Amino acid sequence: MNTIFQDELPIVVGLLAGVDEAGRGPLVGNVVAAAVILDKNKPVDGLADSKKLSAKRREQLAEQIRERAIAWSVISIDAAEIDRINILQATMLAMKQSVEQLAVVPEHVFIDGNRCPQINIPATAIVKGDARVAEISAASILAKVERDAQMLALHETWPQYGFDKHKGYPTKAHFEALAQYGPCPEHRRSYAPVRRAVARDKEPVTS
Averages of pLDDT over runs of 10 residues in the chain (207 residues) are: 63 90 98 98 93 94 98 98 98 98 97 95 94 96 98 98 97 95 96 90 55
- Taking a C-beta distance cutoff of 8 angstroms, is the pair 109, 119 a contact? yes
**Phi/psi class of residue 81: alpha, beta or left (left: φ > 0; alpha: ψ in -120 to 50)?**
alpha
Give the per-residue pLDDT at 8: 72
- Domain boundaries 2-154, CATH class: alpha beta
The distance of Cα 31 from the centroid of its chain, to the nearest Å, equals 5
Give the per-residue pLDDT at 6: 56
- Taking a C-beta distance cutoff of 8 angstroms, is the pair 74, 148 a contact? no
**Phi/psi class of residue 112: alpha, beta or left (left: φ > 0; alpha: ψ in -120 to 50)?**
beta
Give the per-residue pLDDT at 200: 76
- Taking a C-beta distance cutoff of 8 angstroms, is the pair 141, 69 a contact? no
Amino acid letter, 173:
A
The closest alpha carbon to 168, from 185, 182, 155, 156, belongs to: 155
Q: What does the domain layout of the chain look like in residue ranges?
A: 2-154, 159-199
Give the per-residue pLDDT at 57: 96
Condensed to tens digits (0 to 9), the pLDDT of residues 131-146 reads 999 999 999 999 999 9
- The model's pTM is 0.92
Give the per-residue pLDDT at 198: 87
